[in-house]
């Protein structure tokens, strides 16, 4: 069973390799002319390379047979010898120069395509991905396309061209035995190399998996630096990282040992082949059927063939490794986005920005229902708040409206247009979001605020910061607007990050606003100021506010109370209090908690 499974895996791997090689072709199409010119330079270089031994043979024969012409004929041959060597070098370098643009453009195109695809994949993929592993796979995969092109153009094709030219010379000028021994050795060498390399590929795949796993451990521990320090778990993180590297080390040693076996086998095959062919050539010289020049020619051919052939084993291994690396990237590119635009979908046409949830049902897994028959409307300019206990499905409403996911039942409308039928870009351009967990780019504060609308003027950026009550804070910083906020904004407090996010949303000037716990990280004083700002900003906008603290939504036109994925109450703040239901109980509980906090602070 193990052998059958291994054979099946090998067949599948071969199919994937062929598929991935075909996948490279579109990246060459942009520079067909350059690729063909590089191929022409390659052929010219090999013609010159094969011509060198032929001229060398004639020089030796000239010394042997026509000593009286030594001052005439050998000088001409020596000049021809030098010219061929120079031509070989010239055309090789021209090939490199011509093909450089092809190689590096292919790397650029693949890298851009992969990043584009990653941005197109759904939120569910990004919530489950491992950043360290994806980063390492992307790095290896994009580098692998340059590796494959390099080896194909600079190693494999040149060897094939040289083999063809040498075969033509041997078949036309010498006995068949020379061709049979030469290319018999080549066949045995290639067969041995392919067989052992296929066996070794399993080690390479294991090394890739372990390398990505170790990289993931390292990334996670650094991204969660503060958490590691809080719990004093530096040793735990180092042990996880080192244990994975220890497994990688064991596999790497096995890989290196098997490579030594491969190298020794290759060297043995080449040594036997060269010895046999030289024995036949020496016998020909003794019998008079071959000249010393012929012996030199055959020996030179053997050196020219077997020296690159020695590297061909390495080349094959590297191509296989590169194909394994590339396979990770192509599999990623084959992963279909869950959320896609409908064929010929039109852009969203905004009129007043009315939002409607119609009997919306949603789940991440069928056994865990998040929303059940949620039905409500937000009229243009209306501010609707959603409250409820954790896990009630509040934030899911924002994700569905922004179309990170599609509901399994019902539909969501904006100005009577089903959002599944319009372009995602136009939908998201109409919505501004201030999330609960604000993540910033590792760049300046100016860059992070201007990210809301990249064509905004400096005055507009500063006005947005003033509205978000963060301008004074920025002015007090040593580097001001050029202050770099650190990875994910770690150099700023939670409240400062949220104010940057609010400024960013204000700058975007969307028709529909979503505030998802937008003031959860602010102190009471700042929260009051921001609440006033949010009230001003949302005055002419359709606004959905998701909140935990009920005190932040008392001014909402309507409040929806959710529990276990359903809307169980709705109405204005005073109306809900008078009903004495879930909202009233939550309000009473939070008021008692606030009073307890005040008493504790006073004491």
Burial class of residue 153, CB neighbours in 10 A (0-12, 13-18, 19+): buried
Beta strand pairing call for 368-378 and 566-571? unpaired
Helix axes 32-65, 2-29, angle to 10 degrees: 100
Q: 514 pLDDT exceeds 70?
A: yes
Task: Provide, rounded to the nearest whole percent, the portion of the chain with pLDDT above 70.
Answer: 88
- Segment 556-575 shows an average pLDDT of 90
Band of the pLDDT at 252, cuts 50, 70, 90? confident
Burial class of residue 429, CB neighbours in 10 A (0-12, 13-18, 19+): middle
Q: Name 176's Cβ contacts closer than 8 Å, sequence gap at least 6.
A: none
- What's the mean per-residue pLDDT of the chain? 80
Q: CA torsion angle for 276, 277, 280, 285 (degrees, to 10)?
A: -130
Name the DSSP letter for residue 337.
P
- Segment 137-165 shows an average pLDDT of 76
Q: CA torsion angle for 33, 37, 40, 45 (degrees, to 10)?
A: -160
Q: 357 pLDDT exceeds 90?
A: yes
Return the half-sphere exposure (C-beta side, CA atoms, 13 A cut-off) of residue 55. Answer: 19
CA distance 63 to 57: 10
- Segment 495-520 shows an average pLDDT of 83
Beta strand pairing call for 566-571 and 512-516? unpaired
Contact 383, 556 (CB under 8 A): yes
What number of other Cβ atoms are within 10 A of residue 517's Cβ? 19
What's the predicted TM-score (pTM) here? 0.64
CA distance 519 to 531: 8
* Domains contained in the chain, CATH given: 20-334 (1.20.1560.10)
Q: Each residue of 480-504: pLDDT tens digit?
A: 898 888 877 778 887 788 888 888 8
Query: Of 226 and 589, which is predicted with more confidence?
Result: 589
CA distance 163 to 147: 23
Q: Each residue of 210-232: pLDDT tens digit?
A: 888 888 888 788 878 877 877 77
CA distance 71 to 175: 33
Residue 48 CA from chain centroid, whole number: 42
């Amino acid at each position: 069973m193990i052998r059958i499974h291994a054979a099946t895996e090998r067949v599948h791997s071969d199919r994937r390799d062929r598929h991935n090689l075909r996948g490279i072709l579109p990246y060459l199409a942009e520079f067909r002319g350059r690729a063909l010119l590089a191929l022409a330079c390659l052929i010219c270089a090999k013609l010159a390379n094969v011509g060198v031994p032929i001229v060398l043979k004639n020089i030796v024969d000239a010394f042997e047979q026509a000593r009286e012409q030594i001052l005439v004929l050998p000088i001409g041959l020596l000049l021809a010898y030098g010219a061929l060597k120079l031509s070989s070098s010239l055309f090789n370098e021209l090939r490199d120069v011509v093909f450089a643009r092809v190689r590096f453009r292919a790397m650029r195109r693949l890298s851009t395509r992969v990043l584009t695809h990653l941005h197109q994949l759904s939120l569910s993929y990004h919530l489950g991905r491992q950043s360290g592993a994806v980063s390492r796979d992307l790095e290896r995969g994009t580098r692998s396309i340059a590796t494959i092109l390099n080896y194909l153009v600079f190693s494999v094709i040149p060897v094939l061209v040289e083999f063809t030219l040498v075969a033509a010379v041997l078949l036309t000028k010498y006995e068949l035995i020379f061709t049979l021994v030469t290319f018999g050795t080549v066949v045995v060498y290639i067969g041995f190399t392919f067989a052992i390399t296929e066996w070794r590929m399993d080690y390479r795949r294991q090394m890739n998996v372990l390398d990505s796993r170790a990289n993931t451990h390292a990334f996670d521990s650094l991204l969660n630096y503060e958490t590691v320090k809080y719990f004093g778990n530096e040793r735990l993180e180092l042990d996880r990282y080192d244990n994975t590297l220890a497994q990688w080390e064991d596999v790497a040693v096995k890989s290196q040992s098997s490579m030594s076996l491969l190298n020794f086998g290759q060297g043995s095959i080449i040594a036997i082949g060269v010895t046999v062919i030289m024995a036949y050539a020496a016998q020909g010289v003794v019998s008079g059927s071959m000249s010393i020049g012929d012996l030199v020619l055959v020996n030179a051919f053997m050196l020219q063939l077997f020296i690159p052939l020695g590297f061909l084993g390495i080349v094959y291994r590297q191509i296989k490794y590169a194909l394994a690396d590339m396979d990770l990237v192509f599999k990623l590119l084959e992963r279909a986005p869950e959320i896609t635009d409908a064929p010929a979908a039109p852009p969203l046409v905004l009129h007043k920005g009315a939002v409607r949830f119609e009997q919306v049902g949603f789940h991440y897994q069928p056994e865990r229902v998040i929303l059940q028959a949620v039905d409500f409307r937000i009229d243009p300019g209306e501010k609707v708040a959603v409250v409820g206990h954790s896990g009630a499905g509040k934030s899911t409403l924002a994700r569905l409206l922004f179309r990170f996911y599609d509901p399994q039942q019902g539909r969501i409308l904006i100005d009577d247009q089903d959002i599944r039928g319009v372009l995602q870009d136009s939908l998201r351009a109409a919505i501004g979001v201030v999330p609960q967990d604000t993540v910033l780019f590792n760049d300046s504060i100016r860059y992070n605020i201007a990210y809301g609308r990249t064509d905004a003027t400096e005055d507009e950026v500063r006005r947005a910061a003033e509205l978000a009550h963060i301008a004074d804070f920025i002015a007090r910083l040593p580097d001001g607007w050029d202050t770099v906020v650190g990875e994910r904004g770690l150099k700023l407090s939670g409240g400062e990050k949220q104010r940057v996010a609010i400024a960013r949303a204000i700058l975007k000037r969307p028709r529909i606003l979503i505030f998802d716990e937008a003031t959860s990280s602010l102190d009471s004083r700042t929260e009051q100021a921001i609440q006033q700002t949010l009230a001003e900003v949302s005055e002419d906008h359709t606004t959905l506010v998701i909140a935990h603290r009920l005190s932040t939504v008392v001014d909402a036109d309507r409040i929806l109370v959710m529990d276990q994925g359903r809307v169980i109450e709705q109405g204005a703040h005073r109306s809900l209090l008078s009903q004495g239901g879930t909202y009233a109980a939550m309000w009473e509980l939070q008021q008692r908690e606030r009073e307890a906090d005040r008493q504790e602070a006073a004491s």
